[in-house]
């Protein structure tokens, strides 16, 4: 199982000092966070993507390429790559390049995004969000899996005789997670292709998470990729730790109360009761995180948000230290001890290359033969199934990492 940290890249005033870090300080802070994550034995660092204040991460691949040069083992990922407003041609180029620079230590999480003003800035309409996510990803797969692409769609100019460069490292495209907070169509899309599904559940109750993951697992099996428990699942989480619960709550409460995406709403106690947020001791984080398996099943990746809401860098690095030295070693041991037989490991580039060579073909070649024209109907079917089961709903998530 993989463990890591992600950031939404907010620039928020420290409510205890009144100081707001500069963009430069936050960007350099990401580098320090990633290096610290590798130092203490975490597996993944994931960068968010935003194009509006109060966030700074408008170019995740640039940042991750720099971090690749500063690290040796850390998997570099995204908390969201906006498949709707980014050109899939550019996504194909940039992440293949990052693959080569990092020696394969890269994957990505594709998200629809639901910050309304961003769409027209890139010439798109938020009302087309689902359609854009479907069409753009179908093209992205072709660009990574076919040497010459001829393509025509609704939302982009056609391509004729186009070859994306560089080609994916070792002929194996970066592993894709489809990230969603509340869209069953995205869970359906992940299942259709046999890709990973990352449910960023930091804002939602366990009942909602269970419905979303169950939908993805059932549809993964429906499309013939394996049994439901073989589906590739990732979850989010958020933690703040001190030696005692009282210390943790007293220190974190001022930050929670003004946080950009959930401040001025439920109380800290209400939010921790309803969501995966854990504010307390390392032992409490371990206990609550282990309970995710009760409703999500065995899963492959656990990501923690640790730098949100104006927390100073030195305190963020302390949280990463505690995660790596006190929390994650226990979580690894406990999750491994109860994992069902047949549940796959988290995907890595090396393992996927080995599997491709063993099969005598490159992973993903089957993608060019799949029924791309049938995706729309299948996604509608999946959404209908979700509604019949009780489609998740609730508070909106403007500004959050995945939709």
pLDDT band at 265 (very low <50, low <70, confident <90, very high): confident
Regarding beta strands 149-151 and 159-162, do their DSSP bridges make them parallel or antiparallel, or are they unpaired? antiparallel
- The SS3 call for residue 6 is strand
Q: Is residue 103 over pLDDT 90? A: yes
- What pLDDT, in 10s, does the model give residues 49-59? 988 888 899 99
- What pLDDT, in 10s, does the model give residues 134-187? 999 999 999 999 999 999 999 999 999 999 999 999 999 999 999 988 789 999
Average pLDDT for 28-52: 96
How many whole angstroms separate alpha carbon 146 and alpha carbon 149?
Answer: 6
How many whole angstroms separate alpha carbon 173 and alpha carbon 96?
Answer: 7
CATH of the domain at 382: 3.20.20.30
How many whole angstroms separate alpha carbon 377 and alpha carbon 369?
Answer: 17
Averaging pLDDT over each range in 252-266, 294-308, 387-401, which range is the top one? 294-308
How many whole angstroms separate alpha carbon 80 and alpha carbon 401?
Answer: 6
> In angstroms, how far is CA 74 from the centroid of its own chain?
15
pLDDT score recorded for residue 343: 97
Q: Whole domain around residue 118: which residue ranges? A: 2-368+376-389
How many whole angstroms separate alpha carbon 360 and alpha carbon 362?
Answer: 7
- What pLDDT, in 10s, does the model give residues 302-358? 999 999 999 999 999 999 999 999 999 999 999 999 999 999 999 999 999 999 998
Q: Is residue 388 over pLDDT 50? A: no
The answer to whether the predicted template modeling score (pTM) of the entire model surpasses 0.85 is yes
pLDDT band at 367 (very low <50, low <70, confident <90, very high): very low
pLDDT band at 126 (very low <50, low <70, confident <90, very high): confident
Q: 19 Cβ partners below 8 Å, 6+ apart?
A: 13
pLDDT band at 361 (very low <50, low <70, confident <90, very high): low
pLDDT score recorded for residue 81: 95
Answer with the residue of higher pLDDT: 379 or 62: 62
Average pLDDT for 200-206: 84
Q: Would residue 106 count as lying in a domain? A: yes
- What pLDDT, in 10s, does the model give residues 204-227? 889 999 999 999 999 999 999 999
Report the b/e string of 238-258 with b at 16+ CB within 10 A: bbbbbeeeeebbebbeebbee
**Residue 231's beta-bridge partner residues?**
none
pLDDT band at 395 (very low <50, low <70, confident <90, very high): very low
**Count of domains for the chain:** 1
Q: Would residue 14 count as lying in a domain? A: yes
How many whole angstroms separate alpha carbon 379 and alpha carbon 222?
Answer: 13
Q: Would residue 105 count as lying in a domain? A: yes
Q: Would residue 400 count as lying in a domain? A: no
Q: Is residue 105 over pLDDT 50? A: yes
String of DSSP letters for 195-245: -EEEE-GGGS-HHHHHHHHHHHHHHHHHTTSS-GGGS-EEE--BEEE-SSH
Q: Would residue 60 count as lying in a domain? A: yes
- The SS3 call for residue 301 is strand
Q: Would residue 395 count as lying in a domain? A: no
Q: Which two tokens stand for residue 344?
A: 């796959």
How many whole angstroms separate alpha carbon 112 and alpha carbon 114?
Answer: 7
Contact 43, 26 (CB under 8 A): no
**At how many degrees (to 10) do helices 282-290 and 328-338 cross?**
30
> For all residues of the chain together, what is the average pLDDT?
89
Q: Is residue 387 over pLDDT 80? A: no
Q: Is residue 385 over pLDDT 60? A: no
Q: Would residue 325 count as lying in a domain? A: yes
pLDDT score recorded for residue 322: 98
Contact 54, 259 (CB under 8 A): no
pLDDT score recorded for residue 333: 98
């Amino acid at each position: 199982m993989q463990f890591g940290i992600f950031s939404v890249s907010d620039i928020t005033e420290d409510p205890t000092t009144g100081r707001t870090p500069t963009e430069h300080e936050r960007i350099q802070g990401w580098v320090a966070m990633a290096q610290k994550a590798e130092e203490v034995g975490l597996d993944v660092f994931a960068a968010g993507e935003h194009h509006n204040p109060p966030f700074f991460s408008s170019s995740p691949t640039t940042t991750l390429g720099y971090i690749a040069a500063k690290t040796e083992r850390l998997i570099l990922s995204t908390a969201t790559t906006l498949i709707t407003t980014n050109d899939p041609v550019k996504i194909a180029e940039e992440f293949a390049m990052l693959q080569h620079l990092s020696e394969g230590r890269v994957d990505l999480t594709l998200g629809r995004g639901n910050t309304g003003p961003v769409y027209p800035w890139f010439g798109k309409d938020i009302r087309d969000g689902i359609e854009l996510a479907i069409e753009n990803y179908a093209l992205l797969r072709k660009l990574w899996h076919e040497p010459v692409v001829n393509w025509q769609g609704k939302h982009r100019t056609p391509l004729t005789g186009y070859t994306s460069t560089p080609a994916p490292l070792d002929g194996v495209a970066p592993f894709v997670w489809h990230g969603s907070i509340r869209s069953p169509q995205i869970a359906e899309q992940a299942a259709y292709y046999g890709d990973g599904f990352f449910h960023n559940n930091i804002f939602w109750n366990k009942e909602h998470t269970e419905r979303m993951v169950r939908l993805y697992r059932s549809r993964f099996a429906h499309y013939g990729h394996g049994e439901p428990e073989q589906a590739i699942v990732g979850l989010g989480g958020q933690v703040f730790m001190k030696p005692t619960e009282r210390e943790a709550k007293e220190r974190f409460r001022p930050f929670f109360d003004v946080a950009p995406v959930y401040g001025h709403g439920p109380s800290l106690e209400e939010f921790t009761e309803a969501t995966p947020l854990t504010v307390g001791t390392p032992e409490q984080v371990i206990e609550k995180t282990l309970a995710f398996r009760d409703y999500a099943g065995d899963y492959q990746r656990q990501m923690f948000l640790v730098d949100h809401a104006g927390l100073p860098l030195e305190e963020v690095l302390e949280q990463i230290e505690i995660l790596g030295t006190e929390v994650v070693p226990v979580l690894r041991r406990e999750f491994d001890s109860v994992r069902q037989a047949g549940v796959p490991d988290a995907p890595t580039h090396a393992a996927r290359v080995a599997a491709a060579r063993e099969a005598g073909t490159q992973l993903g070649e089957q993608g060019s033969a799949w029924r791309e024209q049938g995706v729309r109907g299948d996604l509608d079917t999946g959404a209908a199934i979700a509604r019949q089961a009780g489609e998740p709903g609730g508070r909106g998530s403007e500004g959050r990492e995945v939709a």
